[in-house]
Amino acid sequence: MIQVKRAYEKPSKADGVRILVERLWPRGVTRARAALDLWAKDVAPSPALRKWFAHDPAKWRQFERRYRAELRANPEAVDALRRHIGAGTVTFVYAAHDEEHNGAVALRAFLAERPKPRRRAALTPSEAAAR
The domain spans of the chain are: 7-114
pLDDT at 113: 86
pLDDT at 87: 74
Cβ atoms < 10 Å from Cβ of 102:
23
What is the spatial distance between Cα 119 and Cα 49, in angstroms, rounded to a whole number? 31
| The 17-20 sheet, strands edge to edge | 2-6, 90-94, 17-20, 38-39
Encode 2-61 in three state secondary structure: EEEEECCCCCCHHHCEEEECCCCCCCCCCHHHHCCCEECHHHCCCHHHHHHHCCCHHHHH
pLDDT at 68: 97
pLDDT at 84: 85
What is the spatial distance between Cα 21 and Cα 92, in angstroms, rounded to a whole number? 6
75-89 mean pLDDT: 90
